[in-house]
Structure 1
Amino acid sequence: MSAQGPAAPDGHEGSKDKGGVKAALGGLTTRGRSFLAAGVAAAACAYLLGQADLLRVGLLLAVLPLLAVLVLYRTRYRVAASRRLAPARVPSGSEARVHLRMDNVSRMPTGLLMLQDHVPYVLGPRPRFVLDRVEAGGRREVSYRVRSDLRGRYPLGPLQLRLSDPFGMCELTRSFSAFDTLTVIPRTEALPAVRLSGEASGYGDGRQRSLALAGDDDVIPRAYRHGDDLRRVHWRSTARYGELMVRREEQPQRSRCTVLLDTRAKAYQGSGPDSAFEWAVSGAASALMHLLERGFAVRLLTDTGASVPGEGSDGFAGSTQESAASAGTMMDTLAVVDHSDGGGLSRAYDVLRGGNEGLLVAFFGDLDDEQAAMAARMRRRSGAAVAFVLDSGTWVTGGAVAGAVDESLQRLREAGWTALAVPPGVPLADLWQQAGRQYTDSPGAGTNGFTGGWS
């Protein structure tokens, strides 16, 4: 919610009288200009013909719009405005409502007010409202809806206040300075709970993960704080340091997952809401939300090597209490993510090669032989790996999956990936469930360092 007031004496906060009376005269409407022209013409004819009555009529016609300009120019309304978005972050294809509130903070009522909010074209038509009269200390509230099928961050505002005289001779526009931002995030799908089985130590929902979630006490004690349980007093350290010391609380370890999004421009064909790239972005968002809800510490990684949110040295999302903030950060990033200029996956590989990073879920575009080999090597740096490979050409033509995609899938599977091709129009939920079945049926299930599930 943004506040835009109280307004300056000329009708609104932050507005400046740059043009003075000249700018006010520029606010004459077609009716006002017609009256002024008719008055001047009548006065000229009266002078040439010597008609005093016609002169008086001409003066009346000419003076009326000038008086309207003067009165409107000297109007001193004090108006405060505010804007509230509900919600401020909305999935693409969904509507958000914008609430505007106008408060008359002066001691005199206003005249006719017309409101106009600046809205990007992609969100819909520019909203306009007419307020007949706002009493002293009064308030008026109006609202309108916005909707976009395209991801992005869109500015709303500034709000314009248009003053008009009762005769419609003159209109003056004042602009507020504040604006708000509507974030349109990718659409997400609810994914089914898929359980992977295995007996090796690592991550997941099995017995080993349950032990990992329990954690171990930090052996380094800390000073006693008011409210600490006396049963956690570490007497040996208390005797050593000469003050009451307690054992630290358990530090639970969380299963980790990296969601890799391939954003290379050369890996995708086509554009628009139904393109392969938009499906990949939406798929990455769905996977992130699903895994965060399942308690995973999640990291969003792109082919450029950029990691989000990067709250710690390892780049993974923080504790459970921070999951909502982490999800918002990653969804804001996906709202504006665009094609990268990079030609390869080497920078993402450099980030992943540091060791076992738990589950790896990747969304790849078109892979040539070199990039398929690079992606295959990523598998050895993670506990388990699931890849969704898009053949963007089929998304443009609607044809069958090309042989090059089959070769990439085969290479990934030989390296231990659970790899699936993504035909146009197939929901991610179906592919997610298919990936779970493929992993369970694979000969190496349970021996690749990933325990339990990614449900």
Structure 2
Amino acid sequence: MAAGGPAARADEDKGGLRAALTGLTTRGRSFLAAGVAAAICAYVLGQSDLLRVGLFLAVLPLVCAYVLHRTRHRVSGSRRLAPSRVPAGSEARVHLRMDNVSRLPTGLLMLQDRVPYVLGPRPRFVLDRVEAGGRREVSYRVRSDLRGRYPLGPLQLRLTDPFGMCELTRAFSAYDTLTVIPRTEPLPPVKLTGESSGYGEGRQRSLALAGEDDVIPRGYRHGDDLRRVHWRSTARYGELMVRREEQPQRSRCTVLLDTREIAHQGAGPDSAFEWAVSGAASVLVHMLERGFSVRLLTDTGNAVPSEGAGGFAGATQESADAAGLMMDTLAVIDHSDGAGLSRAYDVIRSGNEGLLVAFFGDLDEEQAAMAARMRQRSGGAVAFVLDSESWMHGSAAAVSGPVEKRLRLLREVGWTAVSVPPGASFADVWRQAGSASLSSAVAGGLTGTSGGWS
């Protein structure tokens, strides 16, 4: 109930009481009509006993409406999602809880939750009488084959008095959000040239972050190994100092997703664009599990996460949090109105960003040349190219001439470029990329000089 002065509260009470009177059920209206008719007959016939019956029949529904109006704010409801983030095609369970916090028992309750139609039918539950201070818990399942963020609520409750004379419907203001993320596939370990593993096998090492070990001596902390005491610095500063040691630097991986509307035709769960989104999600999870610092980059130049070194999810952010943030982004990502990849190239050319895994739609000559220049700024590059026309027709025929020309251009500058047929399993395409990378390394005489990652 909103805060206000006495006049405001009085107006609100009057409005609520009018709503309670309009909520009289058929039984309540019948009692009221019968009571009024009996009172009129008693007055005409001069029957005092009939008048008492008439007054009783007329007053009972009015009293029930007033009592229900006074107790309507003493019922609380809550909702809990388990889990709140699910892959497309998986189910989540919604738990509803109703608490009667008043001193009076409730009558029959009907509970209804509002859900988007893509999650299934609107759930309705009938709850029997809830004792004073009691609670009831019910649950239902939701499922969607389409990724996105879906609001659940508000929760609606229909209250009735014990005699069934009046019904009131109230809606709770709180709602929750179910996030349906793209489907992911577990990827097999493969060897690709151009980049080392995520942890421990990297070619580079760097100073650890604050609170970790690094090269510059620091003050002694409780629990430090005394064998790491740096005596020269201890004598110089007059306090006990310990050595900081080097820590392995996490290798980086950028996952580039081409979201240009002109590069992707068709829509729906089986479209090329949805395959690319699921593929990007699978690679992000796969690389995070193997200790890489990763980021999601789109053709618009937006990188997720935006914090950390260069927008990567590195040692300053937990992998689970980073994965959740990127998955939430992929859950709602849509086509962009951009015509090119120049903004993504501007982000990549700022420095050597390690491994680059790209999901391209249709590429014309200009955009293929732009993608070729991206290869110069990465330690290794893998491209999955989707031909929208073949995906729209569901044809797994041979790669068309223009697409083959773009693939050849990417391969000539060092990309491991793979054409994706309609409905392909991403795990199979991932293995194909590993085989193509190995063949390229052998042909180029790089087997003994290039590192591999899995």
TM-score range, shorter chain: 0.7 to 0.9
**Aligned 8 A contact 2:256 2:298 in 1:** yes
Matches within 5 A, 1:254-333: 254-319=250-315, 322-333=318-329
Deviations 1:2-37 (Å, cap 9, x if unpaired)? xxxxxxxxxxxxxx7582222112323455456656
Task: Name which of 220, 223, 226 aligns with 2:219.
Answer: 223
Deviates more, 1:213-222 or 1:406-415: 213-222
Deviates more, 1:67-76 or 1:56-65: 56-65
Which structure 1 segments of 5+ residues have no match? 1-15
**Aligned 8 A contact 2:360 2:386 in 1:** yes
Matches within 5 A, 1:334-349: 334-349=330-345
Once residues 88 and 321 of structure 2 are traced to their aligned partners in structure 1, the CA distance between those partners, rounded to angstroms, is: 20
Q: 1:250 to 1:29 in 2, by over 3 A?
A: farther
Does residue 351 (structure 1) correspond to residue 354 (structure 2)? The answer is no
Q: 1:191 to 1:296 in 2, by over 3 A?
A: same
Matches within 5 A, 1:325-404: 325-399=321-395, 400=397, 401-404=399-402
Once residues 291 and 135 of structure 1 are traced to their aligned partners in structure 2, the CA distance between those partners, rounded to angstroms, is: 54
Shift in Å at residue 63 of structure 1?
Answer: 5.2
Shift in Å at residue 48 of structure 1?
Answer: 13
Deviations 1:381-403 (Å, cap 9, x if unpaired)? 10111111111222222234433
Shift in Å at residue 211 of structure 1?
Answer: 5.6
Shift in Å at residue 96 of structure 1?
Answer: 0.2
Shift in Å at residue 248 of structure 1?
Answer: 1.9
Tell me which amino acid in the other structure corresponds to 1:294: R
Once residues 187 and 304 of structure 2 are traced to their aligned partners in structure 1, the CA distance between those partners, rounded to angstroms, is: 22
The DSSP-based 3-state class of the residue aligned with 1:181 is strand
Shift in Å at residue 441 of structure 1?
Answer: 0.5
Once residues 205 and 106 of structure 1 are traced to their aligned partners in structure 2, the CA distance between those partners, rounded to angstroms, is: 58
Does residue 99 (structure 1) correspond to residue 91 (structure 2)? The answer is no
Deviates more, 1:139-148 or 1:427-436: 139-148
Shift in Å at residue 415 of structure 1?
Answer: 1.5
Once residues 184 and 96 of structure 1 are traced to their aligned partners in structure 2, the CA distance between those partners, rounded to angstroms, is: 10
The DSSP-based 3-state class of the residue aligned with 2:452 is coil
Deviations 1:171-214 (Å, cap 9, x if unpaired)? 1012222222111110000111102357xxx52389x9356479
The DSSP-based 3-state class of the residue aligned with 2:344 is helix
Once residues 449 and 78 of structure 1 are traced to their aligned partners in structure 2, the CA distance between those partners, rounded to angstroms, is: 73
Shift in Å at residue 361 of structure 1?
Answer: 0.5
Matches within 5 A, 1:24-423: 24-30=20-26, 32-33=28-29, 65-75=61-71, 78-196=74-192, 203-204=196-197, 209=201, 212=204, 218-319=214-315, 322-399=318-395, 400=397, 401-423=399-421
**Aligned 8 A contact 1:317 1:326 in 2:** yes
Q: 1:107 to 1:446 in 2, by over 3 A?
A: farther
Deviations 1:375-430 (Å, cap 9, x if unpaired)? 11111110111111111222222234433222211111111111111111111000
Q: 1:213 to 1:30 in 2, by over 3 A?
A: farther
Q: Aligned residue for 2:452?
A: 452
Tell me which amino acid in the other structure corresponds to 1:144: Y
Q: 1:18 to 1:286 in 2, by over 3 A?
A: farther
Q: 1:25 to 1:97 in 2, by over 3 A?
A: same
Q: 1:419 to 1:33 in 2, by over 3 A?
A: farther
Tell me which amino acid in the other structure corresponds to 1:171: E
Once residues 299 and 448 of structure 1 are traced to their aligned partners in structure 2, the CA distance between those partners, rounded to angstroms, is: 29
Deviations 1:62-89 (Å, cap 9, x if unpaired)? 6554443233223366333322111111
**Aligned 8 A contact 2:95 2:137 in 1:** yes
Once residues 21 and 234 of structure 2 are traced to their aligned partners in structure 1, the CA distance between those partners, rounded to angstroms, is: 83
Tell me which amino acid in the other structure corresponds to 2:430: W
Give the share of equivalent positions with the same residue, in percent: 76
Q: 1:149 to 1:248 in 2, by over 3 A?
A: same
Task: Name which of 422, 432, 435 aligns with 1:434.
Answer: 432
Aligned CA-pair RMSD: 3.2
Deviates more, 1:98-107 or 1:349-358: 98-107
Shift in Å at residue 263 of structure 1?
Answer: 0.8
Q: Aligned residue for 1:9?
A: none
Tell me which amino acid in the other structure corresponds to 2:387: D
Once residues 448 and 123 of structure 2 are traced to their aligned partners in structure 1, the CA distance between those partners, rounded to angstroms, is: 57
Deviates more, 1:20-29 or 1:284-293: 20-29
How many equivalent residue pairs?
435
TM-score for both structures, normalised by structure 2: 0.86
Q: 1:39 to 1:341 in 2, by over 3 A?
A: farther
Tell me which amino acid in the other structure corresponds to 1:451: G
Shift in Å at residue 144 of structure 1?
Answer: 0.6
Q: 1:47 to 1:102 in 2, by over 3 A?
A: closer
Once residues 355 and 445 of structure 2 are traced to their aligned partners in structure 1, the CA distance between those partners, rounded to angstroms, is: 13
TM-score for both structures, normalised by structure 1: 0.86
Tell me which amino acid in the other structure corresponds to 2:426: L
Once residues 176 and 87 of structure 1 are traced to their aligned partners in structure 2, the CA distance between those partners, rounded to angstroms, is: 22
Does residue 20 (structure 1) correspond to residue 12 (structure 2)? The answer is no
Deviations 1:313-366 (Å, cap 9, x if unpaired)? 321112297111111111111111111122110010011112221111001111
Q: 1:136 to 1:446 in 2, by over 3 A?
A: farther
Once residues 378 and 96 of structure 1 are traced to their aligned partners in structure 2, the CA distance between those partners, rounded to angstroms, is: 40
Q: 1:184 to 1:231 in 2, by over 3 A?
A: same
Deviations 1:130-187 (Å, cap 9, x if unpaired)? 2212222322211110111111111222222211124434210122222221111100
Q: 1:37 to 1:363 in 2, by over 3 A?
A: farther
**Aligned 8 A contact 2:111 2:124 in 1:** yes
Tell me which amino acid in the other structure corresponds to 1:328: G
Shift in Å at residue 45 of structure 1?
Answer: 9.7
Once residues 76 and 45 of structure 2 are traced to their aligned partners in structure 1, the CA distance between those partners, rounded to angstroms, is: 53
